[in-house]
Amino acid sequence: MQNNQFRGPPSPPVTPLLKGTLTVLIVAYLLQLVGQNWLQSGPNSGIENLKLWSFASGHWQPWQPFTALFLNGTVLEAFFDWLFLFFLMGPVEQLVGKKRYKLSMVFSVTLAIFVVTMLDLVGAISPGAASAPFTGVTPALLAMLVIFGFSMPNAQILLFFVLPIKAVWIARVSGLLSLLMFLASRDLTSAMALGGWTGGFIWVRTGGGSFRRLMLRFRKKKLEKELGRFTVIQGGKNNDPTIH
């Protein structure tokens, strides 16, 4: 008897690291909501002091680029961050391995923080955006999307859970949108997104973020270039090639 039961796309792998990450983020957001809406913390203390503020706001603190990653904005913003994390983190972790996944996230997020800090120092962050702090895991999500898209270019991603599009095109378009959003708004959130995308792109293009692999590639190209200067001439009765 033919089975006509509809089967949707396979669910993403739920790894222990994914479970732990989601648990930490959800608990942190619950504490954030209590601190903001029940304890009524002001902009200079409590939860607000853990968000990432620009230098122009006068509220910037050195720990904020890291603590802001565990906080979030509205309930819908938090939910969609968790949803994308649920669908992306498991496949990327299985694709590159748990250890390399952790390294890729540390590299990408650290680069995003560095990029945002430099942009803020040179005045690229709009003074009008100083009152809008950054929160969320956007740089990590963009880095995951880039790593998955460029590592598995022909994989299908359901855009809006309906339209199948190649992963590499999703990765490229997300980078273009991140750049356009930063040029249009010049705020911390778009800058962090652009920095996370850039970190993921560099990680993939340098052979998985390995400096050793990058140097090996450089030496290989250099050796090929040097060997290209030599010509092989057939010589002798034995037809032994001689290199000049």
Give the integer Cα–Cα distance in Å for 26 and 78: 9
Inter-axis angle of helices 188-205 and 138-151, nearest 10 = 30
| pLDDT attached to residue 109 | 95
| pLDDT attached to residue 170 | 87
| pLDDT attached to residue 23 | 97
- Identify each DSSP E strand in 98-235 by its residue range: 156-159, 163-166, 232-235
pLDDT digits (tens, 9 = 90+) for 103-135: 999 999 999 999 999 999 998 988 776 568 999
Give the integer Cα–Cα distance in Å for 71 and 50: 8
Nearest to 139 by CA among 95, 86, 199: 199
CB neighbours of residue 37 within 10 Å = 10
| pLDDT attached to residue 155 | 73
Cβ pair 22, 88 in contact under 8 A:
no
| pLDDT attached to residue 166 | 83
| pLDDT attached to residue 128 | 72
Kindly list the structural domains of the chain, giving each domain's residue range(s) and its CATH number in brackets, ordered by start: 16-215 (1.20.1540.10)
